[in-house]
């Protein structure tokens, strides 16, 4: 017998099974909360910080990631306040400056309202979202890759940098990787990185109407209600 709780998200009363995350529940109800490191059916660890929401309690609001927050009775959640939009936009700006060479990341940046990038672009080939690591460990139990190193040295690697024989070569890691989804113009040359947001036309639209759905590839993956 599943237990249900009732909470409020963006003013709407929502009934959800106990033990689910606020993010999962919101997505099910068609409320698009941008996210990157969340993958349905894999554990959540709150790394990308895009899914932040405001939790209002005792008259005070606290910013927290919705993927790690479990639903509770009488919880009051706000996903789209001005404060949250600004914070999310800044995080997305940091992400796209790190990894512009990914349609998924560019989509997220535009979806979050990034119109200019104030940092020099770098062309890192990894967002450290951990989707590959988690699918390898949790879906297949192979544990052939993992996070190695600390801080800015953190990267994904095989043990000792060599593919072990227990890697099943299932390619799940590649299929989930946001970097493998390339922009339609192909990879950007070094030094020519820019905010492209799928294409310049998309940028013009979201500038005028923020929160416009950009039909991003991630949304396709989680069956977002807007991406029909």
Partner 1 sequence: MSVKTLDAIIEGRRSQPQQLIEVLQDVQDTWGYVPQESMITISRELGVPLIEVYRVASFYKAFSLVPRGEHVITVCMGTACHVRGAAPIVEQVAAMLDVEPGGTTGDGLFTLESVNCLGACALGPVVVLDGVYYDHMTPRKLSRLIESIRKSGNEDTRDA
Partner 2 sequence: MHKLAAIEELEDLRTSLAAARDGAGTTITVCGGPGCQASGCRAVIDALRSELSREDLADTVQVRVTGCHGFCEQGPIMVIDPGNIFYCHLKPADVPEIVSSTLFDGELIERLLYTDPASGSKLQTEAEIPFYRLQDRTLLALNRQVDSSSITDYIAVGGYSALAKALREYGPEEVIGEIARSGLRGRGGGGFPTGRKWASCRAAAGDEKYVICNADEGDPGAFMDRGVLEGNPHLVLEGMLIGAWAIGARQGYIYVRNEYPLAVTHARAAVEQAREFGLLGDNILGSDLCFDVDVARGGGAFVCGESTALMASLEGKVGEPRPKDVHTVEEGLWNKPTALNNVETWANIPLIVRNGAAWFSEKGTKGSKGTKIFALTGRVKNTGLVEVAMGTPLRTIIFDIGGGPSDGAAIKAVQTGGPSGGCLPVDKFDLAVDFDELAEAGSMVGSGGMVVMDERTCMVDVARYFLAFLQDESCGKCVPCRVGINRMLEIVTDITEGRGRPEQLDLLQELGETIRETALCALGKTAPNPVLSTLQYFRDEYEAHISEGRCPAGVCRALIECVIDEEACIGCGACLRACPHAAIHGEKKQPHTVDLDACRRCGICVDECSQGAIALK
Tell me how far the alpha carbon of residue 161 is from its chain's centroid: 27
The binding track of 139-178 with respect to partner 2, each residue x by CB under 8 A or -, is --------x-xxxxxx------------------------
Options 42, 56, 76, 94; binder of partner 2; rule CB under 8 A: 94
Q: Do 21 and 41 meet the contact criterion of CB atoms below 8 Å apart?
A: no
User: Of residues 187-216, which lie at the interface with partner 2 (CB under 8 A)?
Assistant: none
The binding track of 16-55 with respect to partner 2, each residue x by CB under 8 A or -, is -----------------------------xxxxx--x---
In angstroms, the CA 215 to CA 228 distance is: 8
In angstroms, the CA 156 to CA 176 distance is: 14
Options 3, 59, 74, 118; binder of partner 2; rule CB under 8 A: 118
The answer to the question of residue 146 lying near partner 1 (CB under 8 A) is yes
The answer to the question of residue 158 lying near partner 1 (CB under 8 A) is yes
- The 3-state DSSP class for residue 9 equals strand
Options 128, 144, 179, 195; binder of partner 2; rule CB under 8 A: 128
- Strands (E) across the chain are located at 4-9, 12-17, 52-57, 60-65, 76-78, 146-148, 155-157
The answer to the question of residue 82 lying near partner 2 (CB under 8 A) is no
In angstroms, the CA 62 to CA 55 distance is: 5
């Amino acid at each position: 017998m599943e237990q249900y709780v009732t909470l409020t998200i963006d003013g709407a009363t929502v009934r959800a099974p106990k033990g689910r995350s606020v993010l999962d529940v919101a997505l099910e109800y068609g409320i698009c909360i941008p996210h990157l490191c969340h993958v349905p059916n894999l554990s959540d660890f709150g790394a990308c910080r895009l899914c932040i929401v405001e939790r209002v309690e005792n008259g005070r609001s606290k910013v927290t990631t919705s993927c790690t927050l479990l639903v509770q009775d009488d919880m009051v959640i706000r996903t789209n306040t001005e404060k949250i939009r600004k914070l999310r936009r800044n995080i997305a700006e940091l992400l796209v400056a790190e990894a512009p060479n990914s349609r998924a990341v560019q989509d997220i940046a535009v979806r979050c309202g990034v119109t200019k990038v104030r940092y020099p672009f770098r062309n890192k080939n990894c967002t450290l979202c951990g989707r590959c690591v988690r699918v390898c460990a949790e879906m297949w139990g192979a544990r052939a890759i993992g996070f190695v190193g600390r801080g800015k040295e953190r990267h994904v690697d095989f043990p000792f940098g060599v593919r072990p024989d227990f890697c099943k070569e299932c390619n799940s890691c590649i299929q989930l990787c946001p970097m493998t989804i390339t922009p339609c113009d192909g990879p950007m040359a070094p030094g020519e990185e820019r905010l492209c947001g799928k294409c310049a036309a998309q940028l013009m639209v979201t500038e005028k109407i923020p929160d416009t759905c950009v039909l991003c590839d991630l949304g396709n993956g989680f069956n977002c209600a807007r991406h029909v």
